Amino acid sequence: MKRRKRRVQNSTGVRLTLILGSAVQGACAGLVGAAAMTLGEKIEQALTKRPDSYVPGRTLRTLLGRPVSDRAKPAAANVAMHWGTGALLGALRGIWAMTGIRGGAANATHTVVRLAFDQTLENATGAGAPPSLWPVGEKTVDYLHKAVYSLVTGAAADRWIAPRLISRRGVRSH
């Protein structure tokens, strides 16, 4: 009887392919979440008369070595930062969905990640102040908009991406 050589799949390569695919799908989910957040912001601003914030654009320009004054309204940089952050953190949420980090708890955690990401960059560049210094209304509005982003991103990611890489290792701390 002839023995056939079995072709061994490169499990690392397969995992990497699945992870990269879920990151791309997650980035698309993040863009859907960013669109929902934008719509919510525009509706809220129409009702409250709150002006646009250009802190994200100032943050991006500072990160790129092209800082601007606090009075500047870098619209293109604002749009790039808004949608870029949406896609980037959507990619993260897509990987979570693939690895079994899903549902409401994942969405709540993702909201915190989104807020922390924005605040880290805005404060590290000096383009924004920490939320502890913001008026309560500003914090509430920002937190709600970021929650909308994460809920919509999470719903899309969890729907589009099957949980194919759930590990049972490390269930216990010992």
pLDDT digits (tens, 9 = 90+) for 67-109: 899 999 999 999 999 999 999 999 999 999 999 999 999 999 9
How many residues in the chain?
Answer: 174
pLDDT at 3 over 80: no
As given in the structure block, the two tokens for residue 98 are 């693939």
Are 26 and 95 in contact, with CB atoms under 8 Å apart?
yes
- Average pLDDT estimate for 34-60: 96
**What integer pLDDT is reported at residue 169 of this predicted model?**
82
CA pair distance 59, 121, nearest whole angstrom? 7
C-alpha 104 chain-centroid distance = 15
Find the DSSP H helices in 49-102.
Answer: 55-63, 75-98
pTM higher than 0.75 for the full model?
A: yes
User: Using one digit for the tens of pLDDT, what is the confidence trace for 108-158?
Assistant: 999 999 999 999 999 999 999 999 999 999 999 999 999 999 999 999 999
pLDDT band at 30 (very low <50, low <70, confident <90, very high): very high
CA pair distance 71, 90, nearest whole angstrom? 30
